[in-house]
Chains A and B, each alone.
Chain A
Amino acid sequence: MRVRRVGDHALLVEVDSTDEVAALHAELLRRRAAGALPPLDNIVPAARTVLLDGLTDPKQLADDIPTWPLPPVPADEGPLVELPVRYDGPDLAEVAARWWVPMEEVGRIHSGFEYRVAFCGFAPGFGYLTGLPERLHVPRRATPRTSVPAGSVALAGAFTGAYPRTSPGGWQLIGHTDAVLWDPRREPAALLRPGVRVRFIPEER
């Protein structure tokens, strides 16, 4: 673990894996809920780091964090969200070719794993989901699309996810969900928040 200073009011805690990020993030939320964390604005997990922003005195915390035990997050911990998906995306054939399976198998394989939201970014409510085995990782598209429809279920690198609204995007599109992933009038606004477990449920076509 390495703790890096970010300006005068933030720390970036760097660990070795997304699983360790999940453990550190869970520990930070436990401590915040218990009132054992100094006041701060944001706890932002990412791929290898957790950012702590809006601290009055980051020094003390920078010294403390490396001494914390960080138990791994149990696989069944955290709220579960089920997303119905039609596996009919425009990149289904390309993903099937990269996986060496028939197109009809992509949905069965993708929906056969349970995922977890590692972090959000790119757009409000866009979750980066981990849990896809490494042999199934596919690269981003060489040329990003200028417009990806809202609800598109997609893959890129170690991550899978779903576009909360229409936006440009470079991920491989394998399907579509009608779930409302982002609604600022709803509490919580984002369906896919860090720590949430996700299952994709194939819909009959």
Chain B
Amino acid sequence: MNAIEVVRAGALTTVQDLGRRGLAHLGVPRSGALDGPAHRLANRLVGNPADAATLETTLTGVAVRALAPVVAAVTGAPAPVRIDGRPAPWGLPVTIPAGAVLDVGAATHGVRSYVAFAGGVAVPPVLGSRATDLLAGLGPSPLSAGDVLPLGEPADCPPPVDVAPQPAPPAELVLRLRLGPRDDWFTADALRLLGQARYTVASASNRIALRTEGPALARAIDAELPSEGMVLGAVQVPTDGRPLIFLADHPTTGGYPVVGVVPEVDLAAAAQARPGTPLRFQVIA
């Protein structure tokens, strides 16, 4: 069985796939790749099914040594790709010879690059998924230098080289937002403000939530909300009034009102928005 050895782990590199579905009632978040389309494309480029596990990097990339020859592809946040120091293409399948090091450098734009290997990262699944869940503490720990990760068997037929157009990471993040379930907990002024105000992506953002800086939303109801179920993309407003958007590792229940929900297709862009990126919400009724 082939394997890769981590040479440089980067700021935060995790194993991700499509996550764990159907376990929210036990307190288990969905988890999985934050930029779903980039994860799927990386897999497609190396001939993997969409649910094969990839590596998700954070800003500073990752470097791994292939213990046997393997085809890999890097998607998501654009970054310089090198194989044993020689430039290699981003967004296309590349072959790593045995013993060579694939180095994904710091992202030039965006936040998270995805590295797929033919056969997929084959760490043992936990509850049906190999994803690292940083909130629930499930799946493999974030990568450290020296870790050896097994790879699965590549698909029989080599993949056709795919044209791989990818959206550029957003200069301005525009997130559609469908009001509810708790929009009535906010004042009419707050709801108007939500659709007009300029927010920026806060540096405290992570795989659990995209946090924002900007005007606070005033509540119409000051009572404490009994804990209720939370969905991916829920825009929760904690006591400081700054909306935060729940991403893949979000808690399954929460006690702050959710003013609205961002559709899942908009969250891939959110996953690539760096701290400081301007953000606005486009309210859809």
Q: Are B253 and A121 in contact (CB under 8 A)?
A: yes
Which of B226, B251, B261 has the most chain A CB atoms closer than 10 A to its own CB?
Answer: B226
Residues of chain A within 8 A of B181, CB atoms compared:
4-6, 12
User: Nearest CB to that of B133 among chain A residues?
Assistant: A124
Q: Give the number of residues in A that approach B within 8 Å (Cβ atoms).
A: 37
Do B229 and A12 touch (CB < 8 A)?
yes
B251 touches A121 (CB 8 A): yes
Q: Which of B9-49 contact A (CB under 8 A)?
A: 21-28
Q: Which of A6, A47, A165 contacts B231 (CB 8 A)?
A: A6
Q: Are the C-beta atoms of A193 and B25 separated by less than 8 Å?
A: yes
Partner of A46, one of B182, B227, B262: B227
Residues of A48-79 whose CB lies within 8 A of B? 48-51, 53-54
Residue numbers in B under 8 Å from A122 (CB-CB)? 27, 251, 253
Flag A69-104 by CB within 8 Å of B: 1 or 0 each: 000000000000000000000000000000000000
Given contacts A48-B228, A124-B138, contact A7 B127 (CB under 8 A): no
Q: Which of A36-44, A130-138, A141-149 contacts B (4 or more CB under 8 A)?
A: A36-44
User: Number of contact residues on B: which range applies?
Assistant: 20 to 34
Q: Is the CB of B25 within 8 A of A12?
A: no
User: Which listed residue, A9, A46, A125, touches B229 by the CB 8 Å rule?
Assistant: A46
Q: Name the B residues within 8 Å of A46 (CB-CB).
A: 226-229, 253
| Contact A189 B26, beta carbon cutoff 8 Å | yes
Let me know if B253 and A4 touch, CB within 8 A.
no
Digitize B223-241: 1 where CB-to-A-CB distance is under 8 Å, 0 elsewhere. Answer: 0001111110110000000
Q: Cβ of A125 and Cβ of B27 under 8 Å apart?
A: yes
- Measured CB to CB, the residues of B under 8 A from A are 21-28, 126-127, 136-138, 178, 180-182, 226-231, 233-234, 251-253, 258, 260-263
Task: Please name 12 further chain A to chain B contacts, defined as beta carbons within 8 Å, in addition to the given A6-B181, A7-B261, sorted by A numbering.
Answer: A7-B231, A8-B261, A45-B229, A46-B226, A48-B228, A50-B229, A119-B25, A122-B253, A124-B23, A124-B136, A184-B138, A189-B28
